[in-house]
């Protein structure tokens, strides 16, 4: 593999240039570089750079969205029918609970999870909690990511853990994030982790991955 091509791919992602990124992905595939390696050496490295740049105080959503759009295009190019379970780092269920339609944060997290090589099942916005749990059971998920901006969804989020336990699914981790949810602690929200930012959530998953997944 010509390492320059991987650099060119990373530049295209950071630059938000979808067409150039796809050209570089095709160049890499033509030189027999495997999709997993393109994700690991190309996409994930860019996300580490974004993570360093985007602190809570200096968060650049537009830059993340620009990169996110390219990452989505790369993932679709490499895995047109989705990342197969056998190659995925794990399966994550994601959704915005019923009563809340603010799904921008959820969509960003979804893209970044896919960019990291996770298989993501998106239950959408305004989604009943039961739907998230059903999906987690059906897809043998490793974690459920719940995103929410408004406080009225908090009681429903608090129910997820006990509902998982009742179905013998207590090993599934629950990660919460978003405007309203991140005002609370994990203990108070009855979840495993409250992520301050998208990268904070990804890092929690990475730590979990090293230990359990």
Give, as ranges, the residues between 28 and 57 that touch another protein (CB under 8 A): 56-57
Q: Is 209 one of the binding residues for another protein (CB under 8 A)?
A: no
Instruction: Please state the closest distance from residue 175 (CB atom) to another protein, in A.
Output: 18
| Residue 193, phi-psi category: left (phi > 0), alpha (psi -120 to 50), beta (remainder) | beta
The alpha helices in 141-197, defined as continuous H runs, are: 154-166, 186-189
Report the residue from 19, 37, 85, 101 that binds another protein according to the rule CB under 8 A: 101
Report the residue from 49, 188, 207, 212 that binds another protein according to the rule CB under 8 A: 188
CB 15 within 8 A of CB 87: no
C-alpha pair distances (Å), 165 with each of 133, 154, 190: 10, 19, 12
The alpha helices in the chain, defined as continuous H runs, are: 3-15, 18-30, 35-37, 44-53, 61-78, 104-115, 129-138, 154-166, 186-189, 198-211
Q: Is 126 one of the binding residues for another protein (CB under 8 A)?
A: yes
Q: Is 65 one of the binding residues for another protein (CB under 8 A)?
A: yes
Instruction: Please state the closest distance from residue 150 (CB atom) to another protein, in A.
Output: 7
Instruction: Please state the closest distance from residue 121 (CB atom) to another protein, in A.
Output: 19
Q: Is 183 one of the binding residues for another protein (CB under 8 A)?
A: yes
Q: Is 196 one of the binding residues for another protein (CB under 8 A)?
A: no
For residue 195, the surrounding DSSP H or E stretch is strand 193-195
Provide CB contacts within 8 A for 187, sequence distance 6+.
Answer: none
Q: Which is nearer to another protein, 107 or 142 (CB)?
A: 107
Instruction: Please state the closest distance from residue 183 (CB atom) to another protein, in A.
Output: 4
User: Binding residues for another protein, per CB under 8 A?
Assistant: 16, 56-62, 65-66, 69, 99-104, 107, 126, 150-152, 154, 179-180, 183-184, 188
């Amino acid at each position: 593999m010509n390492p320059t091509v991987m650099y060119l791919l990373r530049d295209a992602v950071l630059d938000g240039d979808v067409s150039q990124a796809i050209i570089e992905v095709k160049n890499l595939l033509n030189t027999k570089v495997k999709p997993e390696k393109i994700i690991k050496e190309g996409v994930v490295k860019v996300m580490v750079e974004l993570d360093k740049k985007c602190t809570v105080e200096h968060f650049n959503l537009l830059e993340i969205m620009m990169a996110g759009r390219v990452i989505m295009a790369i993932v679709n190019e490499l895995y047109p029918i989705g990342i197969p379970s056998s190659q995925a780092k794990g399966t994550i269920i994601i959704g915005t609970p019923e009563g809340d339609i603010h799904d921008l944060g959820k969509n960003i997290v979804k893209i970044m999870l896919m960019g990291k090589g996770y298989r993501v099942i998106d239950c959408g916005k305004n989604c009943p909690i039961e739907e998230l749990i059903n999906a987690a059971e059906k897809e043998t998920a490793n974690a459920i990511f719940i995103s929410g901006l408004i406080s009225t969804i908090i009681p429903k989020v608090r129910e997820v853990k006990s509902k998982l336990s009742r179905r013998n699914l207590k090993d599934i981790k629950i990660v919460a994030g978003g405007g309203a949810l991140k005002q609370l602690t994990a203990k108070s929200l009855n979840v495993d982790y409250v992520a301050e930012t998208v990268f904070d959530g990804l890092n929690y998953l990475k730590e979990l991955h090293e230990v359990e997944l």
